[in-house]
Chain A
Amino acid sequence: MTPVVVTAAAMANACGIGMRAIGAALREGRSGLRRNDFEPATGLDTFIGRVDAVESIDWPERFADYDCRNNRLAWLALDQDGFRAKVAAARARHGAERIGVFVGTSTSGILTTEMYSRATRDQPVPARLSASSYAACHSMYAPARFVQAACDLHGIAATLSTACSSSAKAFGSAARALHAGQCDAAIVAGVDSLALSTLHGFDSLELLSRTPCRPFDSDRDGISIGEGAGLALLEREGSGAVELTGIGESADAWHMSSPHPQGAGAVRAMRGALRSAGLRPEDIDYINLHGTATRANDTAEDHAVHAVFGSTTSAGSTKGWTGHALGAAGITEALVCVYALREQWRPGTLNCVTPDPALRSRIDRESQAAPLRNALSNSFGFGGNNCSLVFGLRR
């Protein structure tokens, strides 16, 4: 593919608000995970990556309809890292109608409806949410509509929702829209927030860890659910140290919630991303793994990474810092790759104390400075949906 430049980036998640704070947490090995204290679901014995800051935002009156935890997270990220100013400059360059918005989310603002139906469950006639509240908060399109409104844009927009690969897929849609001339710049976003359905849903599958998640550890026993938002501005040309150079997408065609045991779909996604970037496996200097810390996911991903890269390419999972931000995981980890390339420093794998000896790829536990030219990020979701992205330093 023709590379597209990352001309701005911002994020907010449990390990920090803004790229600088998150970078500091990564470097200091400081996890954002804590024992579950999320009020509506405190019965669950697990750890979460909660972003308290969304609870105290002074919410703007003009966006009253949009007021929900998920849109608050997006708003928080929009306020970081000079992102709004960069979008304003892009709007001046291209026009508000030529900037697309592509948002990945798995559950949008479903918490609003969950709490509403819980509060009204004893009413004999079903209580109704207002249509505007559904459209602005809970509907799957809500976060894309909100980001578009918050940035005063009038171009194309869509929400991509493919479970835990959603916001990686949003990069693919945005890059294709740029190439097809549907827009001249694109905001890619990922936003997912704590919700009862995901907390209890993963609990029903017995996939929630009782400790902070331990990717690729011998004793790993599940995920820690996090929340977060990430934003990237993509343009065909412009200033920025890093570009998106490759995208690989595939489906497992195997099972709705279990990965293919040999990671066959993941192999196709990674090879597709390398082909799209015109790179060989040895050209990749760092892999940010999906690395959720469930037994099955990490084993399947290890098979796949070993099949494509052997045992030499440095790989790690940053879920021990952020938790699994589900639909926002793709962009969160894409932006960790952008950070790593900019800083020439790659994170290791927090909470991986005893690497599983059955795994064969090179899982680096320790973070370190390293010369990095190309980084690959993996995202895999329910429904067997896989996406790998390659980012490179611009020459």
Chain B
Amino acid sequence: MTALGIRAVGVAAPGLPGWPATADVLAGRTPFVVQPVASLDSNLPGTERRRANEVSRWSIAAALEATGDARVEDVAALATVFGSADGDGHVLDAMLAALAQDKVAVSPTIFHNSVFNAPAGYWGIGAKASGSSTTLCAGEGTFAAVLLESHGLVAATQESVLLVVCDLPFPPRVPFTCGGRSPFAGALLLEPLGVDASRWGCIDGLRVTRRAARRPDHDALVDGEFAGNASAAALLLLGAIARGHAASIALPYIDDAVVELTWQP
């Protein structure tokens, strides 16, 4: 398979304010302390900044850290792969409330924010990104699915891909529970492996394996603070990067499967 180099990482989550701080937590250099995120970086112009939904704001914050850190010459040319298991619960809540009225009046902004690819759309506007953009999900296996999609894209184009995942807790009025209790957004700038090693190592050997053969990996944050948040499965990979030792990783995937990969510094 084509190996994927990791050129940059972005993280936005309570207690994980950006990649350097996240790496310190994951490597055990500093304790994890839940703290609300003070503000989310944005590249959106005024009108869109006001309109953008929550999942877009978090996604953009993580994407900005990854693209800023990489000093990417041309962010606008990057292909993007966005993922979220469940999308934006606040928009769904507002939509369901409007639809339950006797006289239905849906806000146009709520409607266009209700599309699953809203984060990709807002990112495109903010970054003037006009390349290929995909948005996908696979339930609790969403992070692994987004990695598989990015792998296919890099293999086909031999160009860099910006991967962004985000899941958020749903408001209590929505008639089901999603996203766990804590928000998590993560971004990876992936590139075809060049002559020079990528800054944050590389992913190789992506493959689907039955859970009968291997269970998904465990991690204190993934199983704790971010339990139920499908996007936070990214922390299983980020943990290996933070520790800096080659690792074989099993990500949760669909039904009775895991996605295995190796990470090397």
Q: List the interface of chain A (C-beta within 8 A of B).
A: 1, 43, 97, 106, 113-114, 116-118, 120-121, 126-131, 133-135, 138-141, 144-145, 148, 154-163, 169, 172-173, 176-177, 179-182, 196-197, 200-205, 249-257, 264-265, 268, 272, 381-385
Q: Which residue of A lies closest to B253 (CB)?
A: A156
Q: Which residue of B lies closest to A177 (CB)?
A: B152
Q: How many A-B residue pairs have CB under 8 A?
A: 221
Q: List the interface of chain B (C-beta within 8 A of A).
A: 1-2, 48, 51, 76, 80, 85-87, 92, 95-100, 104-108, 110-118, 120-122, 124-125, 127-139, 142, 145, 148-149, 151-153, 155-156, 172-178, 206, 208, 254-257
- Supposing A106-B115, A176-B152 touch, asked if A204 and B108 sit within 8 A by C-beta, the answer is yes
Least distance between B1 CB and chain A CB atoms (Å): 7
Contact of A200 among B98, B153, B176 (CB under 8 A): B98
Chain B residues contacting A133 (CB-CB under 8 Å) are: 176
Structural contact, B135 and A249, CB atoms closer than 8 A: no
Q: How far is the CA of A272 from the CA of B131 in the complex (A)?
A: 10
Contact of B124 among A157, A177, A203, A252 (CB under 8 A): A252
Chain B residues contacting A256 (CB-CB under 8 Å) are: 48, 51, 112-113, 115, 118, 121-122, 125
Structural contact, A134 and B137, CB atoms closer than 8 A: no
Least distance between B212 CB and chain A CB atoms (Å): 12
Q: Which residue of A lies closest to B111 (CB)?
A: A201
A-B contact pairs, 25 of them (CB 8 A): A117-B96, A117-B97, A117-B100, A121-B100, A139-B86, A140-B137, A141-B142, A145-B255, A159-B137, A161-B115, A161-B116, A162-B115, A180-B156, A182-B148, A182-B208, A200-B99, A205-B111, A250-B131, A251-B121, A253-B130, A264-B130, A382-B117, A383-B120, A383-B124, A384-B124
- Supposing A139-B85, A385-B133 touch, asked if A126 and B172 sit within 8 A by C-beta, the answer is yes
Structural contact, B136 and A158, CB atoms closer than 8 A: yes
Chain A residues contacting B139 (CB-CB under 8 Å) are: 135, 139, 141, 145
Least distance between B121 CB and chain A CB atoms (Å): 3
Chain B residues contacting A121 (CB-CB under 8 Å) are: 100
Q: Which residue of B lies closest to A104 (CB)?
A: B136
Structural contact, B175 and A126, CB atoms closer than 8 A: yes
Contact of B116 among A140, A148, A156, A182 (CB under 8 A): A140
